[in-house]
Amino acid sequence: MQDLIFSFNTVMPVFLIVFLGLFLKRRRFIDESFVATSSRLVFNVTIPALIFMNIALRDLRETFRGPLMGMGLGVLLLSFLLLWLLSGGIRDGATRGSFVQNSFRSNFAILGLALIYNLYGHEGLAPASVLLSAVMPMFNVLSLVVLLHFRGSEGRRPKLLLEVLKNPLVIAALVSVPYSLLGWGLPQFLERAVGYLASLTMPLALLGIGGSMSFRALRQDIGLVFLSSGIKVLGIPLLGTLAAVLLGFRGQDLGILFILWASPTAVVSFIMAKALKSDSELAANVILVSTLMSVMTIGGGVWVLRLLGLI
């Protein structure tokens, strides 16, 4: 019973803010303009500040964990390749590319970090931030590859690859490395200012996710929507976590890996699908359904892993 209460207290605060964003959008306290602006602010300013604070002010030799990085990225890459092969029955190229992206791309940067903070506090955010700095470029590159391959949009490749190289999360991680390794400090006033920005990340990002959800978009290709959502929040985390347990992962590392794989489809999947003229409607539907499903799958997963004494 105690493990069940812990799981509930870990998951529900995060999703309550998401549903608050949905409620505020329906009551017109926030609108599309707020969602778009807050999303840009979170991605370009507050998450980079959060990553910087969690890497720069800690010893990277302690927060960098090679096995954690290898396992997390390895399962994502293998999932991507298997989804590419197994999606061969989808004849429409735009739909196939979107399906693959939606099924493996995780909202680890926002929902994932919020859940890890609830599980492990700042001690968990440090290794998770290091992992995130590698995960985000991988998501961007693989999404770019699959969407371009099935749409043939060769002309967009250079611009989007440049965007991958200019990813603010990657830049923040790289800038923070010398501060961590060399023990550089920040002036107290600057450290507090960056900390204030970092503290905006969770509530602002979660409200934005809720504000971007729309039940009116959920109409066609329901079977494909639920298949993609099920793979994302149930199939990949189940198989990935089982493999991690068999390989000896336990405690905080296993918890971080589970949250990485179990987080629902990232909102940016819709943005990339729309930019590359892929099936953006499928992306919007999967984001909505996977987010709703993840309330139960993440909560249930945390409960089972704690019940078994694995995290």
Tell me, what's the pLDDT at 165?
65
Give this prediction's pTM. Answer: 0.84
Q: How far is CA 76 from the centre of its chain?
A: 12
Rounded CA-CA distance 132/249 in Å is 18
Tell me, what's the pLDDT at 155?
46
| Residue 115: closest CA among 259, 295, 5 | 259
In terms of phi and psi (left: phi > 0; alpha: psi -120 to 50; beta: otherwise), the region of 277 is: left
Rounded CA-CA distance 242/262 in Å is 13
Q: Give the domains, in start order, of the chain with CATH numbers.
A: 2-303 (1.20.1530.20)
Tell me, what's the pLDDT at 159?
58
Per-chain mean pLDDT for the chain: 87
Q: How far is CA 161 from the centre of its chain?
A: 20
Which stretches in the chain have pLDDT values below 70?
A: 152-165, 216-220
Rounded CA-CA distance 7/16 in Å is 14
Tell me, what's the pLDDT at 116?
94
Tell me, what's the pLDDT at 217?
62
Which pair of tokens denotes residue 184?
A: 């550089």
Rounded CA-CA distance 286/266 in Å is 9
Task: Express each pLDDT in 18-33 by its tens digit.
Answer: 889 989 988 989 888 8
